[in-house]
Amino acid sequence: MSSLTSTVPGAFNALYNLLVAAGNAQNPKIPVFHSEVLAGQLTQNGYVLLRGVQNHRLDLAALGSYAHYECYEICGCVDYYQGGPDPLSMVEQVLDQTWAIYQEVVMSTVVANRGAAGGAPVLGSSAPTQLTYVLPICAEYTGAPSGDAGFAGQVEFRYEIKARITVP
Protein backbone atom coordinates (compact mmCIF):
# COMPACT_ATOMS: atom_id res chain seq x y z
CA MET A 1 0.00 0.00 0.00
CA SER A 2 1.24 3.48 -0.89
CA SER A 3 0.65 6.57 1.14
CA LEU A 4 0.93 10.30 0.66
CA THR A 5 3.35 12.14 2.89
CA SER A 6 1.68 15.30 4.18
CA THR A 7 3.48 18.62 4.41
CA VAL A 8 1.21 19.90 7.21
CA PRO A 9 3.44 19.21 10.25
CA GLY A 10 6.57 20.50 8.53
CA ALA A 11 4.93 23.68 7.24
CA PHE A 12 3.19 24.43 10.56
CA ASN A 13 6.41 23.99 12.53
CA ALA A 14 8.47 25.97 10.00
CA LEU A 15 6.04 28.91 10.23
CA TYR A 16 6.03 28.66 14.02
CA ASN A 17 9.85 28.80 14.16
CA LEU A 18 9.96 31.79 11.79
CA LEU A 19 7.39 33.64 13.93
CA VAL A 20 9.31 32.86 17.14
CA ALA A 21 12.44 34.38 15.61
CA ALA A 22 10.48 37.46 14.47
CA GLY A 23 8.85 37.82 17.91
CA ASN A 24 12.22 37.57 19.66
CA ALA A 25 13.58 40.34 17.43
CA GLN A 26 10.96 42.83 18.70
CA ASN A 27 11.56 45.21 21.58
CA PRO A 28 9.94 44.21 23.86
CA LYS A 29 9.92 40.58 22.72
CA ILE A 30 6.56 39.25 21.52
CA PRO A 31 5.93 35.65 22.64
CA VAL A 32 4.72 33.16 20.04
CA PHE A 33 2.79 30.09 21.18
CA HIS A 34 2.25 26.75 19.46
CA SER A 35 -1.37 25.51 19.51
CA GLU A 36 -2.52 26.99 22.83
CA VAL A 37 -1.75 29.62 25.44
CA LEU A 38 -1.50 28.18 28.92
CA ALA A 39 -2.50 29.97 32.13
CA GLY A 40 0.13 32.47 33.20
CA GLN A 41 1.52 32.97 29.69
CA LEU A 42 -0.50 36.09 28.82
CA THR A 43 1.49 39.28 28.56
CA GLN A 44 0.65 42.97 28.46
CA ASN A 45 2.82 43.36 25.35
CA GLY A 46 0.69 40.96 23.33
CA TYR A 47 1.42 37.59 21.80
CA VAL A 48 0.98 35.49 18.67
CA LEU A 49 -0.75 32.11 18.73
CA LEU A 50 -0.70 29.59 15.88
CA ARG A 51 -3.98 27.78 16.51
CA GLY A 52 -3.96 25.00 13.98
CA VAL A 53 -4.77 23.80 10.48
CA GLN A 54 -8.16 23.99 8.77
CA ASN A 55 -9.71 23.18 5.39
CA HIS A 56 -7.22 20.47 4.47
CA ARG A 57 -7.87 18.91 1.06
CA LEU A 58 -6.16 17.06 -1.77
CA ASP A 59 -6.67 18.14 -5.39
CA LEU A 60 -5.51 16.18 -8.42
CA ALA A 61 -2.43 17.72 -10.02
CA ALA A 62 -3.09 15.98 -13.35
CA LEU A 63 -5.47 13.31 -14.65
CA GLY A 64 -3.94 9.83 -14.60
CA SER A 65 -1.14 11.03 -12.33
CA TYR A 66 -0.22 10.08 -8.79
CA ALA A 67 0.57 13.71 -8.07
CA HIS A 68 -1.73 15.77 -5.88
CA TYR A 69 -1.87 19.29 -4.56
CA GLU A 70 -2.23 19.39 -0.82
CA CYS A 71 -3.99 22.60 0.21
CA TYR A 72 -4.72 23.81 3.74
CA GLU A 73 -4.91 26.91 5.89
CA ILE A 74 -2.74 27.67 8.89
CA CYS A 75 -4.74 29.78 11.34
CA GLY A 76 -3.73 31.92 14.25
CA CYS A 77 -4.24 35.16 16.07
CA VAL A 78 -2.48 38.14 17.60
CA ASP A 79 -3.79 39.27 20.98
CA TYR A 80 -2.92 42.50 22.72
CA TYR A 81 -4.22 43.83 26.04
CA GLN A 82 -3.80 47.20 27.67
CA GLY A 83 -4.94 47.90 31.21
CA GLY A 84 -6.34 51.15 32.47
CA PRO A 85 -9.28 52.73 34.27
CA ASP A 86 -11.04 53.99 31.12
CA PRO A 87 -11.10 51.23 28.45
CA LEU A 88 -12.79 53.39 25.82
CA SER A 89 -9.99 55.96 25.94
CA MET A 90 -7.50 53.39 24.66
CA VAL A 91 -9.43 51.93 21.71
CA GLU A 92 -7.26 53.51 19.01
CA GLN A 93 -3.99 52.71 20.76
CA VAL A 94 -4.96 49.04 21.22
CA LEU A 95 -5.96 48.76 17.54
CA ASP A 96 -2.64 50.36 16.51
CA GLN A 97 -0.57 48.04 18.75
CA THR A 98 -2.47 44.87 17.82
CA TRP A 99 -2.15 45.60 14.11
CA ALA A 100 1.54 46.57 14.51
CA ILE A 101 2.31 43.18 16.10
CA TYR A 102 0.45 41.44 13.28
CA GLN A 103 2.37 43.40 10.62
CA GLU A 104 5.82 43.17 12.23
CA VAL A 105 5.78 39.59 13.52
CA VAL A 106 3.34 37.72 11.27
CA MET A 107 2.71 39.41 7.92
CA SER A 108 6.26 40.67 7.33
CA THR A 109 7.62 37.22 8.18
CA VAL A 110 5.29 35.46 5.75
CA VAL A 111 5.96 37.96 2.96
CA ALA A 112 9.72 37.62 3.45
CA ASN A 113 9.42 33.81 3.31
CA ARG A 114 6.83 33.40 0.56
CA GLY A 115 9.37 31.87 -1.82
CA ALA A 116 10.34 33.05 -5.26
CA ALA A 117 11.09 31.43 -8.57
CA GLY A 118 14.69 30.29 -8.34
CA GLY A 119 15.00 31.95 -4.92
CA ALA A 120 14.37 31.23 -1.27
CA PRO A 121 12.13 28.29 -0.35
CA VAL A 122 8.56 28.83 0.84
CA LEU A 123 8.57 29.24 4.68
CA GLY A 124 12.35 28.98 4.84
CA SER A 125 14.91 26.21 4.59
CA SER A 126 13.39 24.04 7.36
CA ALA A 127 10.01 23.76 5.56
CA PRO A 128 9.09 20.86 3.29
CA THR A 129 10.52 21.39 -0.20
CA GLN A 130 7.19 20.46 -1.83
CA LEU A 131 5.57 23.77 -0.79
CA THR A 132 4.61 25.84 -3.82
CA TYR A 133 3.14 28.92 -2.15
CA VAL A 134 1.86 30.61 0.98
CA LEU A 135 -0.93 33.13 0.46
CA PRO A 136 -2.57 35.48 2.99
CA ILE A 137 -6.29 34.70 3.06
CA CYS A 138 -7.63 37.09 5.68
CA ALA A 139 -6.89 39.17 8.76
CA GLU A 140 -9.86 40.19 10.90
CA TYR A 141 -9.58 42.65 13.78
CA THR A 142 -11.88 42.81 16.80
CA GLY A 143 -11.58 44.79 20.00
CA ALA A 144 -13.56 44.89 23.23
CA PRO A 145 -13.37 46.18 26.79
CA SER A 146 -11.77 43.61 29.07
CA GLY A 147 -13.40 42.52 32.29
CA ASP A 148 -10.44 43.66 34.37
CA ALA A 149 -10.33 47.38 33.50
CA GLY A 150 -8.68 47.53 30.12
CA PHE A 151 -9.17 46.95 26.43
CA ALA A 152 -8.16 43.95 24.33
CA GLY A 153 -7.60 43.66 20.58
CA GLN A 154 -7.30 40.59 18.41
CA VAL A 155 -6.34 39.94 14.78
CA GLU A 156 -7.34 36.50 13.54
CA PHE A 157 -5.36 35.47 10.46
CA ARG A 158 -5.25 32.66 7.89
CA TYR A 159 -2.62 31.67 5.36
CA GLU A 160 -3.28 29.19 2.58
CA ILE A 161 -0.50 26.73 1.87
CA LYS A 162 -0.23 24.67 -1.31
CA ALA A 163 2.19 21.79 -1.85
CA ARG A 164 2.68 19.26 -4.63
CA ILE A 165 2.89 15.73 -3.26
CA THR A 166 3.02 12.33 -4.95
CA VAL A 167 2.32 8.73 -4.04
CA PRO A 168 5.71 7.03 -3.61
Domain CATH for 77: 3.30.2000.10
Q: Is residue 2 part of a domain?
A: no
Provide the residue-wise pLDDT of the chain in tens; the chain has 168 residues: 456 789 999 999 999 999 999 999 999 999 999 887 765 556 677 999 999 999 999 988 877 777 889 999 999 999 998 888 787 788 999 999 999 999 999 999 999 998 876 677 899 989 999 999 999 999 999 998 877 678 889 999 999 999 998 766
Give the count of domains, the chain.
1
Say if 3 falls within a structural domain: no
Interior CA angle at 82 toward 32 and 153, to 5°?
A: 65
Contact 47, 132 (CB under 8 A): no
CB 102 within 8 A of CB 88: no
Is there a domain that residue 103 lies in? yes
Please name the amino acid found at residue 30.
Answer: I
pLDDT at 1: 42
Residue 104 lies in a domain: yes
Domain presence at residue 42:
yes
Q: Under DSSP, is residue 9 helix (H, G, I), strand (E, B) or coil?
A: helix
What pLDDT is stored for residue 154 in this prediction?
Answer: 94
DSSP 8-state code for residue 28: S
Give a yes or no: residue 35 inside a domain.
yes
**DSSP strand E in the chain: where?**
32-34, 47-60, 67-83, 131-146, 150-166
d(CA 18, CA 92): 29
- Give the three-class secondary structure for 44: coil
Residue 1 lies in a domain: no
Residue 148's pLDDT is 67
Side-chain half-sphere exposure of 112, counting CA atoms within 13 A = 13
Task: List Cα–Cα distances, 166 to 86, 131, 156, in angstroms.
Answer: 57, 12, 32
- Residue 44's identity, in one-letter code, is Q
CB-CB neighbours of 121 under 10 Å: 15
**Cβ-contact 52, 33 below 8 angstroms:** no
Domain extent, residue 26, equals: 8-166
